[in-house]
């Protein structure tokens, strides 16, 4: 099972004002927020427990469209990768918990 979507962080995003003046870079936490948003769209019946691992490989500039790829590794883990213009931005693993109640 997999899911892919595209995102863009606009240059007007409030987090960019001080990150970094004259050479803005999207903070990693904003990229991870977009990953969490994608997981919630793909798997609305699950709660995210946290990140097991995250590795940042390349900076993201504002207004650049990037792709989020999600892959279900098993019942509790989702692997993710974010790419921009053929470059790996980051990758990692999320831990899930189902919100469905069992009878």
pLDDT digits (tens, 9 = 90+) for 68-86: 999 999 989 999 999 999 9
Residue 28 lies in a domain: yes
Q: Is residue 67 part of a domain?
A: yes
Better pLDDT: 19 or 56:
56
pTM of the predicted model as reported, rounded to 2 decimal places: 0.91
Task: Specify the CATH number for the domain of residue 92.
Answer: 3.10.129.10
Residue 27 maps to a domain: yes
Give the residue numbers spanning the domain of 92.
Answer: 2-98
As for how many domains the chain has, the answer is 1
Q: Answer whether residue 103 is part of any domain.
A: no
| Weakest-pLDDT range from 15-24, 70-79, 85-94 | 15-24
Are 2 and 72 in contact by the 8 Å Cβ rule? The answer is yes
Tell me if 47 is assigned to some domain: yes
Query: For residue 86, is it within any domain?
Result: yes
| 25-45 tens-digit pLDDT | 999 999 999 999 999 999 999
* Reduced DSSP (H G I as helix, E B as strand, rest coil) percent helix, strand, coil of the chain, to 5: 15, 45, 40
């Amino acid at each position: 099972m997999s899911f892919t979507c595209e995102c863009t962080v606009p240059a007007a995003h409030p987090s960019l004002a001080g990150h970094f003046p004259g050479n803005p870079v999207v903070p990693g936490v904003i990229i991870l927020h977009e990953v969490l948003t994608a997981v919630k769209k793909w798997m609305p019946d699950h709660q995210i427990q946290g990140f097991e691992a995250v590795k940042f490989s390349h900076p993201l500039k504002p207004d650049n469209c990037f792709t989020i790829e999600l892959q279900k590794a098993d019942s509790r883990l989702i692997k993710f990768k974010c790419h921009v213009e053929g470059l790996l931005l980051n990758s990692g693993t999320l831990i899930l918990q189902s919100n469905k109640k069992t009878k």
